[in-house]
């Protein structure tokens, strides 16, 4: 079965760029849409955007100006870049399979804190 694992720095300075990678195992990244979702501490879920293995993307308009999602099919990975971060971007970031409907499965999530 497909499993996802997020990786990347847990601490990012304000105004810098948050970069995370999601590694897909147990299946091919060429089989689906792939999304990033975040959850600020003690708050709800926000969809950030998706990428299809063909490279097509769709971003949440609230973050669109700062977000880039890319895919590396040879490594079975997709990545998130969020620039000009502030404390409001502190959250647990999840990668998940899906983006054209429901999300399943999800990665375990990684906490990214924005602080100097």
Partner 1 sequence: AIQLTQSPSSLSASVGDRVTITCRASQGITSDLAWYQQKPGKSPKLLIYDASSLESGLPSRFSGSGSGTDFTLTISSLQPEDFATYYCQQFNSYPLTFGGGTKVEIK
Kindly report whether the peptide bond that precedes residue 28 is cis, defined as omega within 30 degrees of 0: no
Among the listed residues 11, 54, 87, 100, the single contact to partner 1 using CB under 8 A? 100
State the number of binding residues for partner 1 (CB under 8 A).
21
Among 61, 65, 74, 115, the residue binding partner 1 under the rule CB under 8 A is 61
* Distance separating alpha carbons of residues 96 and 2, to the nearest angstrom: 10
- Identified binder of partner 1 from the candidate list 1, 10, 41, 44, rule CB under 8 A: 44
Asked if 41 touches partner 1 (CB under 8 A), the answer is no
User: Which residue in the set 15, 45, 55, 73 belongs to the binding site for partner 1 (CB under 8 A)?
Assistant: 45
Q: Which residues of 86-115 are buried (b: 16+ CB within 10 A; e: fewer)?
A: eeebbbbbbbbbbbeeebeebbebbebebe
Half-sphere exposure of 33 (CA within 13 A, CB side): 15
Residues that bind partner 1 (CB under 8 A): 35, 44-47, 58, 60-62, 94, 99-109
């Amino acid at each position: 079965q497909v499993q996802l694992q997020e990786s990347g720095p847990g601490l990012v300075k304000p105004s810098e760029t948050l970069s995370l990678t999601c590694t897909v195992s147990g299946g091919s990244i060429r089989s689906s849409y792939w999304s990033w979702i975040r959850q600020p501490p003690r708050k709800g879920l926000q969809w950030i955007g998706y990428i299809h293995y063909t490279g097509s993307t769709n971003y949440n308009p609230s973050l669109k100006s700062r977000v880039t999602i890319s895919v590396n099919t040879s490594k079975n990975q997709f990545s998130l870049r969020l620039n000009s971060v502030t404390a409001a971007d502190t959250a647990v970031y999840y990668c998940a399979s899906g983006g054209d409907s429901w999300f399943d499965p999800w990665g375990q999530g990684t906490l990214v804190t924005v602080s100097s």
